[in-house]
Amino acid sequence: MRLLALTVSLTFIPLSTLASEAPKSPSEILEQSSPSEWKSISPDNLLINTLSDGTQFIVYLNDFMPKSHTSNIKILANSHWFDKANIVRVQDNYVVQWGREEGTSLPENVVKQPPAEYEFPAKQYKFKPLKYRDTYATQVGFVDSWAVAGDGKDLWLPHCYSMVGVGRDMAPDVGTGQELYVVIGHSPRHLDRNITTVGRIIYGMENLTSHKRGSGQMGFYENDSDKTAFKSSILASQLPENDRPKYEIIDTNSKSFDAYINARANRGGPFFIKPAGAVDICNSLPPIRKAK
Amino acid sequence: MRLLALTVSLTFIPLSTLASEAPKSPSEILEQSSPSEWKSISPDNLLINTLSDGTQFIVYLNDFMPKSHTSNIKILANSHWFDKANIVRVQDNYVVQWGREEGTSLPENVVKQPPAEYEFPAKQYKFKPLKYRDTYATQVGFVDSWAVAGDGKDLWLPHCYSMVGVGRDMAPDVGTGQELYVVIGHSPRHLDRNITTVGRIIYGMENLTSHKRGSGQMGFYENDSDKTAFKSSILASQLPENDRPKYEIIDTNSKSFDAYINARANRGGPFFIKPAGAVDICNSLPPIRKAK
């Protein structure tokens, strides 16, 4: 029993432990939500990465904010350019990074100097606020089922655990998409508005976070033998329709999402003694599930 | 060069990349700090854990807030009780947990029902505030080189990445210290004031975070073969003086610490375009270094 001590501190509270009058848990709310409160994710925005060890991870690409960068990544995927990538860096409490050898030529139609897509005019989007304080931004919330941060004028995709960004050199317009990284560890929000964020890993995070940390400076692998090679990196839309993994994401404008956030901020059940009364944006990423 | 893209987004900015007039980086500030701004850590507060794979991790125990729990953990270490522990759970973006089989008898002098040490009267401590907003607490800051959160009346040790807590059952006073966990991933601050936090891993986090995620519910290992056994878990004070690892921590009341926090909140150098202007408490844990 004691080994289950932390059980109820999790999102997934077994139904059986709750009295029928108890407030619903976050997972119960999702289970009881209506199918109309979920939106299917386009196969053209799912980047499926298969590693040489047989594991997979899937990036959900945002195609309405960092358009130039997302377009580049789709060109690279459609060209099978990333099939020869390696995991080159694992820095504890920071990032896992992958790419190909420096200097590998890019497909012709990749934009070589995409604009720095760090912030986007708030007026272009329907912003739904999360009502809790944030250390790094004056406002946080959601746009079309993506977590965002903002300052009243602009919005941006924050560097939360599992968010994917585009590596760049010193100049802001040199992140072509040929090197990507994902945040592992406590969210490094100071990177917000300094690097373009393009997506979110929705499947297989544990297949990246459990990799050996690199022994070189900033977690780069010093020996090629430490690197994990990719088998392939393609969009779901490149697969025959029946072979595509299908996912859906909750509509952040739905009632069930409101209830879910409220339940995350005020955890109930027999374990919790003092509900936090708040939840931060990086613990509020909209739930995703396999589509039936 | 591109592979170093994320370099300067890190704490450790190479000195050579900075113009001499540039503001000092966090690491430069620490390098140039005075020896008097550092405090040595008592060997009685360093729990040295050696795993069967030869790796180590070290927990710095807080002995002035959760006194009953810390006392229990020291009794267990002095009795070599934890030498037979195993890593039993690795849940991605949450915790790594270790302990012995349920029902293993405890040394007689272990307090079987320690009080729930979740909060401590603020008036007992010299609190130094961090001036930035926090989602979960009305105030955050430092007490004697420990990161703390508070509500004006009480203070507590927050669940930041690398903080160690004591597993418990449903009742608040049943966390004896026989099962410990460490936070990995984005800091689950909703656990604050619901579980006793007792320390912080100051060495070897990567030797825990890179372990295989458990396939059972909540990341528990389903097969014994997945568990990693301990070789030993003892206090540095149990070792001959010359064999003890020696660490020191920055004095959070020092000028160098103020400068360090300011530099973390306002990152300079050639890479950063928009300094965040803030840093959260879990990205502000006081620096620790090997003592000479």
Higher pLDDT residue, A2 or B83?
Answer: B83
- Give me the pLDDT at residue B169, please: 87
Q: Spell out the residues 6+ positions from residue A136 whose beta carbon is closer than 8 angstroms to its own.
A: A149, A158, A189, A190, A192, B276, B278, B280
**Looking at this predicted complex, what is its ipTM?**
0.92
Residue A207 has pLDDT above 80, yes or no: yes
Mean pLDDT of A17-24: 62
Q: Provide the shortest C-alpha distance from residue A47 to chain B (in Å).
A: 21
Q: Provide the shortest C-alpha distance from residue B1 to chain A (in Å).
A: 7
Q: Is residue B274 part of a domain?
A: no
Q: What is the CATH number of the domain that holds B237?
A: 2.40.100.10
- Give me the pLDDT at residue B232, please: 98
Q: Provide the shortest C-alpha distance from residue B212 to chain A (in Å).
A: 6
Q: A92, A119, A160, A181: which to substitute to probe chain B, counting the most B Cβ within 10 Å? A: A92
Copy the structure tokens of residue A244. 């595509």
Q: Report pLDDT digits (tens) over A238-278.
A: 999 999 999 999 999 999 999 999 999 999 988 999 999 99
Q: What is the pTM of this model?
A: 0.93
> Which residues, numbered 102 to 161 in chain B, qualify as contacts with chain A under a Cβ-Cβ cut-off of 8 Å?
102, 116, 118, 132-136, 160-161
Residue with tokens 């020896």, as numbered in its chain: B35
Q: Is residue A224 part of a domain?
A: yes
Q: What is the DSSP letter of A214?
A: P
- Output the DSSP codes for A83-132: GG-EEEEEETTTEEEEE--TTPPPPTTS-SS------EEGGGS--EEE-S
Q: Is residue B60 part of a domain?
A: yes
Residue A1 has pLDDT above 80, yes or no: no
Q: Which of B170, B189, B205 sits opposite A271 (nearest CB)?
A: B170
**C-beta separation of B219 from B94 below 8 A:** yes
- What is the rounded distance in angstroms from the CA atom of residue B183 to the CA atom of residue B181? 7
Residue A4 has pLDDT above 60, yes or no: no
**CA distances from residue A207 to A53, A109, B161, B186, B213 in whole angstroms, order as listed:** 10, 31, 20, 17, 9
Q: Is residue A218 part of a domain?
A: yes
Task: Give mean pLDDT in consecutive 10-residue pieces for chain B, a chain of 292 residues.
Answer: 38 43 89 98 98 98 97 97 97 97 91 95 98 98 98 98 95 90 98 97 98 96 97 98 98 98 94 95 98 90
- What is the rounded distance in angstroms from the CA atom of residue A235 to the CA atom of residue A82? 11
- Give me the pLDDT at residue B21, please: 61
Contact across the interface for B282 and A211, Cβ inside 8 Å = no
Mean pLDDT of A67-86: 97
- Give me the pLDDT at residue A173, please: 84
Q: How confident is the model at residue A165 (pLDDT cuts 50, 70, 90)?
A: very high
- What is the rounded distance in angstroms from the CA atom of residue B156 to the CA atom of residue B122? 9
- Give me the pLDDT at residue B4, please: 35
Q: Is residue B32 part of a domain?
A: no
Mean pLDDT of A14-23: 53
Residue A9 has pLDDT above 80, yes or no: no
How many domains is chain A built from? 1
Q: Is residue B11 part of a domain?
A: no
- Give me the pLDDT at residue B6, please: 44
User: Which of helix, strand or coil describes residue B190?
Assistant: helix
**CA distances from residue A33 to A130, B190, B207 in whole angstroms, order as listed:** 20, 24, 40
- Give me the pLDDT at residue B7, please: 38
Domain that holds residue B156: 39-102+114-247+279-290
Mean pLDDT of A151-166: 98
Residue A82 has pLDDT above 90, yes or no: yes
Q: Is residue B186 part of a domain?
A: yes
Higher pLDDT residue, B14 or A284?
Answer: A284
Q: Is residue A270 part of a domain?
A: no
Q: Is A83 exposed, middle or buried (0-12, 13-18, 19+ CB in 10 A)?
A: middle
